[in-house]
Structure 1
Amino acid sequence: MMDVPNRNALYVPPFPRRTAGPVPVWRGFFGERARTAVYGWSQRAFELDYFKRNVFGHNVHIPLHPDLVQHVLLDNAANYVKPDLVKKLLVPTIGRGLLSSDGPLWREQRRIVAANFAPAAVDTLVPAFAGAASAAAEGWDRGGVRDMAAEATATTMRVISDTLFAGDPRLTTDAAMAHITAALEGVSEARLQVLLGLPLIPLSLRGLAGRRGQRFLRSTLTAVVRDRLPDGGPDDFLGKLIRALNERFEPREALALAVDNAATFYLAGHETTANAVTWALFLLSEQAELQEQTAQEARKAIAVGSQDPELPDRLPLLRRLLEESLRLYPPVPRFDRQAVEADRIGESEVAPGDFISIWPWLIHRHCKLWDEPDAFDPDRFAAGRVERHRFQYLPFGGGPRLCVGARFAMAEALTVLAHWLARWRFQPVPGREVRPSGMVTLRPAGGLPLRISPVSSG
């Protein structure tokens, strides 16, 4: 069931039902809470500055006030690393890549990949974003009902393949899409095993599919990397990565890290952006007048130059809409850290080994931080509005580990949405309930079927 509060002048999209009081920890590992990270929170979780839980013997601190979040992610960031349990979950898929490493290894990898996502580098990729969006839309013929979550995923996979991996066709197949989805969904089962200290053995059909997805991803990307040896091949992201790693690490480790980072950027690079595009389309499909306004803006922006690097900058309304969509449906609803040494978060003692769980889902909808927090209001992000705390809005994380591909993701999402909105109208399918799902990333359960129709050129 979904709660939809009383509507006012602002549109309030659906969100999971909230209980009045705390939810038992064990409920998080059964039923819908085991499949959907944002399901089953109490209303109190959106009102407190901080709370603490004990999860199977592990102390978990949940800071919600931006000052407390800043302490963990910035002020004392060196004391809060990727948790060992999270690494155990991630290693089968992305090894010791940028997302799962810490310390000197993380800093070295971050320095290597950062140049690929600098503003000037991203600007040169706008034509590829536009090309992928247009290519997808060409297959829509005269409309009908299409799963726009699947369309967004296929398009962002095409973008990642074209821009980071020289268009390698092995990365854009239907099998690749299915295996990646299975790998992400298999995390919920593995999460309980990791917390209980059990071996990571698939216990269900979902777990088996997840394991097959992990193996497919690793074997495919290992083949892609090996085909580029010894010199890295084309001068794209993967080529530059292979050459830089070969200069700094011995051959065996350089190869392993190249595969790990290829998996990291292939998986995270397309999945989160696809979800951002999907949720934005859902919100627009429910608001015909706003959709028409953004479509007009998109048509004007594209008329100036459909593929030039400044296209995303000509979309201020669409940008505000996308930012508000990322607030309501953050692609990654939670991320975690683990304390290395004793510390204090506000008035609370933190012991070495304690977990700190950062929840954009809770912070982005917190009653003390936002007016009408569950309502959709793109004008929150209009120029001149009240300045927010820098750790109040975290769609790409924060601090030194702010997502290195944030600019890439925003430019890609804006370009794809602009090209689709300029040519197509999106409407909801009557009777279709849309609800968030997922433990690692946040996507609509069962996809997002929308009725699409071409915009009249007259």
Structure 2
Amino acid sequence: MSPYAQTGVLPPGPGEVDLELMRRSPLAFIDGLAREYGDVTRHQADGDTVYLLNRPELARHVLKDNGANYTKEETPDDRMLRPLLGNGLLTSNGEDWARQRRLTAPAFRPSSVRTFDGIVTESTSRMLERWRPAVESGTPLAVDHHLTALTLAILTRAILGTDIDGIGEGFGRAVDAVNRCIGHYVPDPDPDPADTALRQRGFRQARVFLDSVTRTLIASRRAGGASGGGAGSDGTLLDTMMSSDHLVSDADLRDQVLTIVMAGHETTAKSLTWTLYLLDRHPEEADKVREEVDRVLGGRPPTAADLADLPVCRRAVMEAMRLYPPVWLISRRAVGEDEIGGYRVEPGTLVCVSQWVLHRHPDYWDAPEVYRPDRFDGAALPSHLYLPFGGGDRICVGQHLAMLEAVLALAVLVQSVRLTLVPGFPVEPEALVTLRPRHGMQMIASAR
């Protein structure tokens, strides 16, 4: 008999929960669990036993130290993403995942992504040119959609070798439609079947559009003649995938390209959106960012060589990702028995770590609800306390590119404009696939 089976000790929790309430307000739900039941909680939801872990050492146990015992297969993450992304890097498991990771990792090494700095600054400058009429007239901008288009353009140029500037806003609308459907709980019986049907129709249309964009990227690269080199050398990541013995089918290529495009642009766009919002709400922090950018750059475009001299910009982004982590929940399913924090874990248990909760834990963060970028000035954080890119072996392969994008794009924006939230505009985090502003982010850009 397993030693874990002998203990029989289970975490505290509320038992069966109201699914509709949980899905309607997931952030309030997990906050309430942690507040009422502590750092390891247990509840029943939709036939699953669910543990929520709220301490960094427990997150490390599941994501890293005993990661082999925990899989993404048949988790909420998997069920939400697989219908759109297929069997890509985010959804695959085991050796299949390891093979895909080995293939993609070289394109995202720090030495490789530093070569993309010109793409980041040029793309951001092009976005500012498109903003010029709105800047001159004071017309509000849907900043979240513009940033989605920006990060999409950067990613496709840098990693896939294709310029799709001009369709980015349509891509952003398609991503919104996907989020509205796959991140939305529908109770049984459905109280509003017409609304559900509308969301599902929007998802199907968005999937067709996203498939079309993805297949166009692949066809364009094939037509242009892939170099066959590795990404970061003579070719792009798409060239590498197209020349690989392991990824030869159109279906495989489609899954990988759409996964990289979706995961790589959406999270960075949201990080930048929340950063700009928080800097507007905290003018003293915005002044620090502007002072650094003006002093270090003197009006010239930033490069990768400037990153070490832009720590204030970097901390502004890091603190935004602490308060509003683009990925707000990580879920795994236990393969075998285990013990976590003194509690028994049975096979099949759904084990979750929420960055939203962990990043606000009062035992680890001083004034956790306050935007205070200086908290990252030389701070030595416990392992797996700060998880904007996840943790363990499956930590986001694109984390270095994401930070380079966010810091350099922020510097370019700060050089040219001041962004102010439209007076009275409601800002509320919505926890769907990513943590997004529920109503978007309408801001007014004024010239500096």
Q: Find 1:353's aligned residue among 348, 353, 367.
A: 348
Q: Find 1:61's aligned residue among 27, 51, 54.
A: 51
Q: 2:148·2:168 contact (CA, 8 Å) conserved in 1? A: no
Q: CA deviation at 1:209?
A: 0.7
Q: 1:272–1:435: structure 2 CA closer, same or farther, 3 Å change rule?
A: same
Q: 1:245·1:258 contact (CA, 8 Å) conserved in 2? A: yes
SS in 1 for 2:440: coil
Q: 1:46–1:246: structure 2 CA closer, same or farther, 3 Å change rule?
A: farther
- The aligned residue for residue 217 of structure 1 is 210
Count of residues in correspondence between the two structures: 423
Q: Find 1:312's aligned residue among 303, 307, 316.
A: 307
- The aligned residue for residue 4 of structure 1 is none
Q: State how far apart, in whole Å, the 1-side matches of 2:406 and 2:111 are.
A: 17
Q: CA deviation at 1:215?
A: 2.6
Q: CA deviation at 1:446?
A: 1.4
Q: Find 1:335's aligned residue among 320, 330, 334.
A: 330
Q: CA deviation at 1:431?
A: 1.6
Task: Report matched runs for 1:237-316 at 5 Å.
Answer: 239-244=236-241, 246-249=243-246, 251-252=248-249, 255-303=250-298, 306-316=301-311
Q: 1:347–1:409: structure 2 CA closer, same or farther, 3 Å change rule?
A: same
More off after superposition, 35-44 vs 305-314:
35-44
Amino acid at match of 1:34: R
Q: CA deviation at 1:229?
A: 4.0
Amino acid at match of 2:261: Y
Percent identity, aligned pairs only, is 31
Amino acid at match of 1:77: G
Q: Find 2:118's aligned residue among 95, 110, 127.
A: 127
More off after superposition, 69-78 vs 182-191:
182-191
Amino acid at match of 2:44: N
Q: 1:24–1:297: structure 2 CA closer, same or farther, 3 Å change rule?
A: farther
- The aligned residue for residue 154 of structure 1 is 149
Q: State how far apart, in whole Å, the 2-side matches of 1:403 and 1:357 are.
A: 17
SS in 2 for 1:268: helix
Q: 2:15·2:43 contact (CA, 8 Å) conserved in 1? A: no
Q: Say whether 1:184 aligns with 2:182.
A: no
Q: CA deviation at 1:173?
A: 4.0
Q: CA deviation at 1:28?
A: 4.4
Give 5+ residue unaligned stretches, structure 1: 1-21
Q: State how far apart, in whole Å, the 1-side matches of 2:56 and 2:73 are.
A: 21
Residues 330-369 of structure 1: CA deviation (Å, up to 9, x unaligned) = 0111021111111111211111111111100000011222
Q: CA deviation at 1:61?
A: 1.0
Q: 1:89–1:431: structure 2 CA closer, same or farther, 3 Å change rule?
A: closer
SS in 2 for 1:430: coil
Q: State how far apart, in whole Å, the 2-side matches of 1:36 and 1:44 are.
A: 12
Q: 1:27–1:190: structure 2 CA closer, same or farther, 3 Å change rule?
A: closer
Q: 1:232·1:239 contact (CA, 8 Å) conserved in 2? A: no
Q: 1:35·1:439 contact (CA, 8 Å) conserved in 2? A: no
Q: 1:231–1:256: structure 2 CA closer, same or farther, 3 Å change rule?
A: farther
Q: State how far apart, in whole Å, the 1-side matches of 2:253 and 2:351 are.
A: 30
Q: 1:382–1:94: structure 2 CA closer, same or farther, 3 Å change rule?
A: same
Q: State how far apart, in whole Å, the 1-side matches of 2:413 and 2:304 are.
A: 18
Q: CA deviation at 1:241?
A: 4.0
- The aligned residue for residue 50 of structure 1 is 40
Q: 1:399–1:232: structure 2 CA closer, same or farther, 3 Å change rule?
A: farther
- The aligned residue for residue 27 of structure 2 is 38
SS in 2 for 1:139: helix
Report the RMSD for the aligned CA atoms in angstroms.
Answer: 2.7
- The aligned residue for residue 12 of structure 1 is none
Give 5+ residue unaligned stretches, structure 2: 1-12
More off after superposition, 226-235 vs 76-85:
226-235
Residues 224-265 of structure 1: CA deviation (Å, up to 9, x unaligned) = 32443499625685854454465333743xx32221110111
Q: State how far apart, in whole Å, the 2-side matches of 1:23 and 1:53 are.
A: 6
Amino acid at match of 1:347: G
Amino acid at match of 1:444: P
Residues 418-458 of structure 1: CA deviation (Å, up to 9, x unaligned) = 11011111223222221111311011121111222111xxx
More off after superposition, 237-246 vs 93-102:
237-246
Q: 1:115–1:35: structure 2 CA closer, same or farther, 3 Å change rule?
A: farther
TM-score (norm 2): 0.87
Amino acid at match of 1:115: P
Amino acid at match of 2:245: R
Q: 1:447–1:25: structure 2 CA closer, same or farther, 3 Å change rule?
A: farther
Q: 1:280·1:322 contact (CA, 8 Å) conserved in 2? A: yes
Q: CA deviation at 1:223?
A: 3.6
Amino acid at match of 1:370: W
